[in-house]
Amino acid sequence: MHTGEELALNNLIKHMKNTIKKYITPIVCSVVLAITVSSCSKDNYYQDGGLANPKFNGTVMQYLQSNPKFDTIAQIVKLAGMENIFSKEDITFFAPTDETIRRTIGIVNGKIAALQGGLNQQLFDLKKDTIKQLSDIPQQTWRKYLMRYVFKGKFLLKDYPQLDFSLRPLYPGGYYYGYNGDLANIGVVYGTSNTVKYAGYRQLCIAAITDQSNPQFYYNGSAAVASSDIQPTNGVVHALAVYVASFSIGIRNPDGTTTIITSNPNLTGELFVNATMQNIFGFSYEFDNEVILNR
């Protein structure tokens, strides 16, 4: 890709911070999450390792505009015609960061692994016009997929039921309809501490249910929250994590064969999350497909 195209992408996400703080998870090399992981056993909001006030003296819209991790998301809210919803209505927003948009759109023939194979590469390969600015994507498309992250009412981490992916008949989390009628499974995973099950951290997760006739089936996996319970005046914001690393290793078996083990993109072995889909706007490739069909 030419340098000019890379600059165009940077202009597209012009306010985005590209430096992501990395936090290594308890299991060796399992996954690295961007943003501060603040889901914990206490109902506090932690950032950069220090206790911070979870209250924000402003609306959800103003919070997004004030935080450099979300200024591109704030632009998308406006492009989607949802500014009044984010400013005046009581909502809970599972907020993707600007990095999610950067990775979703991607670059053409670039060398940055996280930006390869994105929407612009697909458009380029199909000989269609690439996305040069956010407004190139129709309002109805932004609105449709942004609404998957928005729920009516205010819900803190403590308001969601327990979710155990290995015991879902007992701890299924809860099912919630988003602002646009999309179904989601949301729950809190109770971590293990010192071998004591459910005694550890609290991790909020959300999964988009693409087949409402079979809500137990997660085609795209679940997305983990990095910072929970941020409280503007008219709602609650739960900032979603961005996955930036995983690994695969080969183990030699006694019979001479090799078994490939790929790390589950999860915090402690207790989450069922999909690193690729978590980094894609709308939780699935449906967004990409719709944009491509409209070009």
Grade residue 42 by pLDDT with cuts at 50, 70 and 90: very low
Q: For residue range 270-289, what is the model confidence (pLDDT) as tens digits?
A: 555 666 667 889 888 899 99
Position 166 scores a pLDDT of 83
Of the segments 39-53, 146-160, 203-217, 243-257, which one has the largest average pLDDT value? Answer: 146-160
| Percent with pLDDT over 70 in the chain | 68
Please provide the average confidence, as pLDDT, over all residues in the chain. Answer: 78
Residue 218's domain is classified under what CATH number?
2.30.180.10
Q: How many domains does the chain have?
A: 1
| Residues 254-274, mean pLDDT to the nearest whole number | 48
Q: Is the pLDDT of residue 97 over 90?
A: yes
* Distance separating the N- and C-terminal Cα atoms of the chain: 21
Q: Is the pLDDT of residue 19 over 80?
A: no
Lowest mean pLDDT among 18-27, 36-45, 53-62: 18-27
Q: For residue range 179-226, what is the model confidence (pLDDT) as tens digits?
A: 999 999 999 999 888 889 999 889 899 988 877 787 776 666 788 899
Position 273 scores a pLDDT of 60
Range of the domain at 153: 3-294
pTM of the model: 0.76
Grade residue 15 by pLDDT with cuts at 50, 70 and 90: very low
